[in-house]
Amino acid sequence: MNIHEKYIKRCIELAQNGFGTTYPNPMVGSVIVYEDKIIGEGWHKKAGGPHAEVNAIRSVKDKSLLEKATIYVSLEPCSHFGKTPPCCDLIIEHKIPNVIVGTVDPNEKVAGNGIKKIIASGANVVVGILEKECNELNKRFFTFHQQKRPYIILKWAESQDGFLSPEKEDNQDRKPVWITNQYSRQLVHKWRSEEQAILVGTKTVIDDNPKLNVRDWSGNNPIRVVLDQNNRISKDSFIFDNCVKTIIFTKSETSISAENTTFEVIDFKENIIPQILGILHQNQIQSIIIEGGLQTLQSFIDQNIWDEARIFVGKLLFGNGTKAPILQKKNVTKTYILNDELINVRNHD
């Protein structure tokens, strides 16, 4: 690891302090170095608050050192007047001669302009240090700005032999068979709290009547997104409990009215996925976890529109039933449920 990488790594660590509080802004960290010593550090804590560079510059006691120092930032300094003034101007004002940037800001309002402005001022600029790691840090923000859709996480639980549910006999009441245990349920609630939205299809709501909120973890509830093509979901379902903002995609107007719930009429004869993702993007949703059912998951898989999959594998053997989707090895994490522990196995791209 070279010296630039060492300090950008520190920027990433600092940025991570903002996990969960910076939305819709990215997590960003910055350090200021003079004679191979860190003289200032900062990170972005909250949307609307000072950016990482501002906090780092403020933390430097002897401001006269800035004219001889190097500033490291995990994301390009901004160039626009948003909720705060441009960080590139602040860097230029303080005459910081060396600026090292992890990765370029994908936000159209910045997109290279911060870097250009700093270069034009005469400072030395290096761009692209630990770029992959810096992009990964803000994978939701990058996907949202570059692909104009939320970052998509697929999630399901399967039996040891790869079934979502066992075969049911015709006259048997449909009782859910739990593949997961209390620890994995808690983990699911943590995951829900980390994303802006959660999506399920009609059948999941009808069969399971899920609340789709965060109960076994302390954190925010994601916005609920439900596909209900033929308005089949009962108005007594938990998703109409008004507790959480809910978006329902339907084919036609519905008579149900619920506070906190909006109905989006889309054309189900067309490919619905781009329509849904476009509306979620308009709603500023940067990430979504898709929790089933099979048809909903499969349609995202068939079109290869997903970024990450998280699969629980239980101990039970079902023998037959509804087969779980098969994925190419691309950013898939399998969590094996043993007695009282969870074991993660991750396949990267």
Structure tokens at 55: 């906090």
Q: Segment near ligand AOF (CB under 6 A), from 43-51, 88-96, 174-182, 234-242?
A: 43-51
Would you call 82 exposed, middle or buried from its count of C-beta atoms within 10 A (0-12, 13-18, 19+)?
middle
Residue 75 contact, options Zn ion, ligand AOF, none, Cβ 5-8 Å cut-off depending on partner type: ligand AOF
In terms of Cα–Cα distance, which of 315, 297, 309 is closest to 159? 315
Nearer to ligand AOF, 56 or 164 (CB): 56
- Dist. CA 26–CA 140, nearest whole Å: 9
Nearer to Zn ion, 96 or 277 (CB): 96
Rounded to the nearest 10°, the torsion over CA 333, 334, 337, 341 is -40
Active site residues: 53
**Per rule CB under 6 A, is residue 83 in the interface with ligand AOF?**
yes
- Cβ-based neighbours of 98, under 8 Å, separated by 6 or more: 69, 70, 71, 123, 124, 125, 126
**Per rule CB under 5 A, is residue 51 in the interface with Zn ion?**
yes
**Per rule CB under 6 A, is residue 84 in the interface with ligand AOF?**
yes
**Per rule CB under 6 A, is residue 78 in the interface with ligand AOF?**
yes
**Per rule CB under 5 A, is residue 44 in the interface with Zn ion?**
no
- Dist. CA 65–CA 61, nearest whole Å: 9
**Per rule CB under 6 A, is residue 104 in the interface with ligand AOF?**
no
* Residues binding ligand AOF: number (CB under 6 A): 17
Q: Segment near Zn ion (CB under 5 A), from 78-86, 239-247, 285-293, 339-347?
A: 78-86
**Per rule CB under 5 A, is residue 78 in the interface with Zn ion?**
yes
Residue that has been written with the tokens 């870097």 in this structure: 115
> H-type helices in the chain, by residue range?
3-15, 52-59, 87-93, 113-120, 131-137, 139-147, 182-194, 202-208, 272-282, 294-302
**Per rule CB under 6 A, is residue 8 in the interface with ligand AOF?**
no
- One symbol per residue from 110 to 149: x for binding ligand AOF (CB under 6 A), - otherwise; what is it? x---------------------------------------
Residues that bind Zn ion (CB under 5 A): 51, 78, 87
